Amino acid sequence: MGHGPSIFVMVDMEGISGVCNSAQVDSTQSGYAAAQRFMTWDTNACVAGCFDGGASRVVVRDAHGGGLNMLWDEFDGRAEYIQGRTARQRMPAIETFDGLILLGYHAMAGTVEAVLEHTMTSKHWQNLRINGRPSGEVAIDAGIAGDSGVPTILVTGDDKVCAEARALIPGIETAEVKKGLDCQGAQMLAREAAHALIRQAAEKAVRRCGQIKPFVADKPVKITLEVVSRGVVPVNRDWVRPIDGRTFEVTGDTMEQAFRRLL
Ligand SMILES: [Zn+2]
């Protein structure tokens, strides 16, 4: 193994190039099979960029739904791949890595004209705040890695999630593969252009790895979550502080602990 940085890549599906509506990210619907290929190709472009940038090791986690979206038989042979569930850590052994990439991510729930915006589940989570700041999955995952001293170096997806990432993490690289026009529509780069952009951004991010600071949330981490539906605020749990019938708060010593207490 070389001396370059080791990189962990979380891959979601909503911000993948070529994906613009909910049928494409739902395994029961047509459009999903093609999106599985798009997700795999964005990943391969990212892995190639990481190695172009001098990475010594790349581990990729398939992080959409049950974690079985990407096509194992089409993966770039230089990286390792986590698929299916991970029982203990959202990003296994993240503390051993030098940088995190959030590939194919999407804006927080409620963002205007953002492709497939949501926070963790589109079913009933709505407004989530971390220590009072409106936040989405970028902040949760950057914060989990940040607690281990790992900087989030690149976010890819639509223009809205890229803006969200830049507002949270100064100096982060972003790759906008589409412009959100609606929750269910986008103006997209073509395949070659999107993959070239991702590859270049990954290379640059890995080269600049040491210059980007980890996002570390103040401790204890306090997360407030407003849900859309009645009757889903967890009850009878020591760590849940109900605020009203649709809002509750949890506190954790780390971002991962606070996040898990929402579930
Ligand atoms: Zn997803």
**Inside any domain, residue 225:** no
Residue 261 lies in a domain: no
Q: Mean pLDDT over residues 213-242, rounded? A: 90
pLDDT (0 to 100) of residue 230: 79
Q: How far is the CA of 60 from the centre of ligand 1 (A)?
A: 15
158 pLDDT above the threshold of 90: yes
Q: Report the C-alpha gap between 246 and 11 in whole angstroms.
A: 30
- Give me ligand 1 centre to Cα 13, in Å: 5
Range of the domain at 148: 6-120+136-215
Asked if residue 240 belongs to a domain, the reply is no
Mean pLDDT of 5-31: 97
Which residue has 């940040």 as its token pair?
A: 146
Q: Using one digit for the tens of pLDDT, what is the confidence trace for 106-157?
A: 999 999 999 999 998 867 899 999 999 999 999 999 999 999 999 999 999 9
CA 69–ligand 1 middle distance (angstroms)? 10
Q: Is residue 232 situated within a structural domain?
A: no
In the chain, count H helices and then E strands: 5, 12
Answer whether residue 178 is part of any domain: yes
Instruction: Note whether residue 78 is domain-resident.
Output: yes
Q: Rounded to the nearest whole angstrom, what is the distance from the C-alpha of residue 90 to the centroid of ligand 1?
A: 14
Name the band, by pLDDT with cuts 50, 70 and 90, for residue 2: low
Domain at 21, CATH number: 3.40.50.10780
Ligand 1 centroid–CA 136 distance in Å is 12
Q: Is residue 85 assigned to a domain?
A: yes
The torsion angle over the Cα atoms of residues 7, 65, 17 and 149, rounded to 10 degrees, is -20
Cα of 119 from ligand 1 centre, angstroms:
9
Q: Ligand 1 center to residue 11 CA distance, Å?
A: 8
Q: Is residue 97 part of a domain?
A: yes
Strand partners, 60: 9, 81
pLDDT in tens, 173-200: 999 999 999 999 999 999 999 999 999 9
Cα 1 to ligand 1 centre (Å): 32
116 Cα to the center of ligand 1, angstroms: 9
Asked if residue 1 has pLDDT above 80, the reply is: no
Q: How many domains does the chain have?
A: 1
Show the CA angle centred on residue 108, arms to residues 102 and 109, nearest 5°: 145
Q: For residue 23, report the distance from its CA to the centre of ligand 1, in Å.
A: 12
- Measure 51 CA to ligand 1 centroid, in angstroms: 25
Query: Are 108 and 98 within 8 A, CB to CB?
Result: no
Q: What is the pTM of this model?
A: 0.97
Please tell me the distance between residue 201's alpha carbon and the centre of ligand 1 in angstroms. Answer: 21
